[in-house]
Amino acid sequence: MTTVTPLISSASPLARDIDGKAIAAQVLEEVREDVKKLAGQQIFPALAVLLVGEDPASHVYVRNKLLRAQEVGIRSLEYRLPDTASQVQVLELIAQLNMDVSVNGILVQLPLPAHIDEAAVIHAIDPIKDVDGFHRENVGGLVQGIEVLTPCTPSGCMRLLQETCGDLSGLHAVVIGRSNIVGKPMATLLLQANCSVSVVHSRSVDAPALCRLADIVVAAVGRPGLIDASWLKPGAVVIDVGINRIATESGHRLVGDVDYASARTVASAITPVPGGVGPMTIAYLLKNTLVASQLQRGVGRVLVG
Ligand code: NAP
C-alpha cells in the first residue's frame, strides 16, 4: 500500500470554487480543435438529438446541447416527436439513425413520456453511437476497463477532479448516490483512477460518518442541501452533481445536493451550483461524439482523450 500525501495539507478558511464553466470551455476548445483536424481529413462528426414531447426543461437542455454543438463545429440534427408518438415510432427513428453512416452520435433526451419504455429505447441505440454511454454494452465495457463511450456527467466530474487534484491514486472517494447514470459510473471511473471508493445510498448506516473519511466527495442524490460541513473531513474536495429547483418568492433558483455555504467552511475546493458540473456534461457529450466517430472508423482515441 502506498502512502498518500494529503491533497491539501490544511484547510483554508473558505474552499475555493472549482470553475466548471472555465474547465468546460477548455474541453470545448479541445473538441473544436479536433473537429478542425478531422475536417482536414474530410470527416464531419454529426450528433442526432431526439426529443419526444413538450417537457419545458428538456427543451432547454436540447437547445443548449445543439447550440454548443454548433459552436464547436459539430453537425447536429434535431428530431422532434409529439407527446403522442408511439414507442414503435421512436424505435423506427432510432433504427434509421443507427443505419445512417453520416450520424456518429445518437442522444435521446430523457425523460421520455410515461407510455414509452426508456430502457427499450436506450438499448435500441447502436452502442457505438450511444454518446450518453447508457447502453448495457457500454456499461459492461466501462466496468471491464474497455474503451467505450462513458456517461457524460461522471466523465465531466473526473475531469474536474483531475484539474483540481492532479493524480487521484490512493485517495479515498465517497460517492453519494448509486444511480445508473451518475453514481455507479462515477464510482467505476474513480476506481479506475486508483481511488479507494465507497458508495453511500439511502440504506447506508451513518452516511455522514462514512463521508467524513473521504478525501473526495461526489454528491449525486437529488436532495437539496443534504450534505453540509458536518459530513466533510477538513480539506475534502467536493463535487456537487445535484440540480434541484427550489421555489423562491420571485420564481425559483437552482441549488445542489450540498449546502454550499456550510460545506465551503470545511472543504478545500467545491463545485458551485450552477456553474460546476452542469457545463461539463454538455462538453463531454460533444467529446463523446468525437470519440464515437473515431471508434466507428476503428481508430480509437487518436485525437481525443
Ligand atoms: P436518482 O436516480 O434519483 O438517484 C439518487 C440516489 O441518491 C439513489 O441512489 C438514492 O439511493 C440516493 N439517496 C437518496 N436519498 C439519500 C440519502 N438521504 N442519503 C444517501 N443517499 C440517498 O438521481 P440521479 O439521476 O443520480 O441524479 C442525482 C442528482 O444529480 C439530481 O439532482 C439530478 O438532477 C442531478 N444530475 C445532474 C446532472 C448534471 O449534469 N449536473 C446530470 C445528471 C443528474 P437508493 O439507490 O438507495 O434509492
Is the pLDDT reported for residue 302 higher than 50?
no
| 153 within ligand 1 shell (Cβ under 6 A) | yes
Same domain (yes/no): 155, 123: no
State percent of the chain over pLDDT 70: 94
* Predicted local confidence at residue 147, as pLDDT: 85
Same domain (yes/no): 157, 123: no
Same domain (yes/no): 63, 102: yes
Confidence of residue 305 (pLDDT cuts 50, 70, 90): very low
CATH number where 230 lies: 3.40.50.720
* Predicted local confidence at residue 7, as pLDDT: 57
Is the pLDDT reported for residue 145 higher than 60?
yes
Taking the centre of ligand 1 as the mean of its atom positions, its distance from the CA of residue 73, in whole angstroms, is 33
Residue 27 lies in a domain: no
pTM, entire model: 0.94
Taking the centre of ligand 1 as the mean of its atom positions, its distance from the CA of residue 111, in whole angstroms, is 15
Rounded mean pLDDT of 263-278? 98
Residue 145 lies in a domain: no
| 276 within ligand 1 shell (Cβ under 6 A) | no
Same domain (yes/no): 214, 259: yes
Look-up: residue for cell 483512477?
A: 193
Is the pLDDT reported for residue 242 higher than 70?
yes
Q: Which of 205, 221, 254, 281 has most ligand 1 atoms within 8 Å of CB, for mutation?
A: 221
Same domain (yes/no): 122, 192: no
The span from the CA of 119 to the CA of 180, in Å, is 11
Query: Which amino acid, 275?
Result: G
Same domain (yes/no): 156, 254: yes
| pLDDT tens digits, one per residue of 39-71 | 999 999 999 999 999 999 999 999 999 999 999
Is the pLDDT reported for residue 243 higher than 90?
yes
Rounded mean pLDDT of 203-228? 98
CATH number where 91 lies: 3.40.50.10860
Residue 217 lies in a domain: yes
Same domain (yes/no): 122, 186: no
Rounded mean pLDDT of 298-303? 59
| 248 within ligand 1 shell (Cβ under 6 A) | no
Residue 201 lies in a domain: yes
* Largest CA-CA distance found in the chain, in angstroms, rounded: 58
CA atoms within 13 A on the CB side of 121: 24
Instruction: Give how far the C-alpha of residue 16 lies from the chain's centroid of Cα atoms, to the nearest Å.
Output: 22
For strands 251-255 and 244-248, give the pairing.
Answer: antiparallel
Is the pLDDT reported for residue 303 higher than 50?
no
DSSP letter at 129?
G
Same domain (yes/no): 53, 116: yes
Residue 108 lies in a domain: yes
Protein residue whose Cα sits closest to atom 17 of ligand 1 = 202
Same domain (yes/no): 195, 77: no
| 23 within ligand 1 shell (Cβ under 6 A) | no
**3-state secondary structure (DSSP) of residue 17:** strand
Taking the centre of ligand 1 as the mean of its atom positions, its distance from the CA of residue 16, in whole angstroms, is 24
Is the pLDDT reported for residue 150 higher than 70?
yes
* Predicted local confidence at residue 48, as pLDDT: 98
Protein residue whose Cα sits closest to atom 22 of ligand 1 = 202
Rounded mean pLDDT of 141-146? 95
Residue 192 lies in a domain: yes
Residue 298 lies in a domain: no
Same domain (yes/no): 122, 160: no
Q: Which of 65, 132, 175, 179 has most ligand 1 atoms within 8 Å of CB, for mutation?
A: 179
The span from the CA of 233 to the CA of 265, in Å, is 11
Same domain (yes/no): 121, 155: no
Question: Under a CB-based contact definition with an 8 Å cutoff, are residues 107 and 149 in contact?
Answer: no
* Number of structural domains in the chain: 2
| pLDDT tens digits, one per residue of 86-112 | 999 999 999 999 999 999 999 999 999
Q: Which residues are known to be catalytic?
A: 65, 109, 132
Cell of 102: 453520416
Confidence of residue 12 (pLDDT cuts 50, 70, 90): low
Query: Which amino acid, 29?
Result: E
Taking the centre of ligand 1 as the mean of its atom positions, its distance from the CA of residue 17, in whole angstroms, is 22
The span from the CA of 214 to the CA of 236, in Å, is 7
Look-up: residue for cell 457545463?
A: 279
**3-state secondary structure (DSSP) of residue 185:** helix
What integer best gives the mean pLDDT of the chain? 94
The span from the CA of 56 to the CA of 126, in Å, is 28
Protein residue whose Cα sits closest to atom 41 of ligand 1 = 278
Residue 288 lies in a domain: no
Look-up: residue for cell 464547436?
A: 72
Q: Which domain holds residue 167?
A: 151-280
Q: Give the helix ranges, DSSP H, for 18-135.
A: 20-40, 56-72, 87-99, 118-124
The span from the CA of 125 to the CA of 108, in Å, is 9
Same domain (yes/no): 155, 118: no
Is the pLDDT reported for residue 270 higher than 50?
yes
Candidates 267, 26, 5; CA nearest to 160 is 26
User: In the chain, helix, strand, coil percent, each to 5?
Assistant: 40, 15, 40
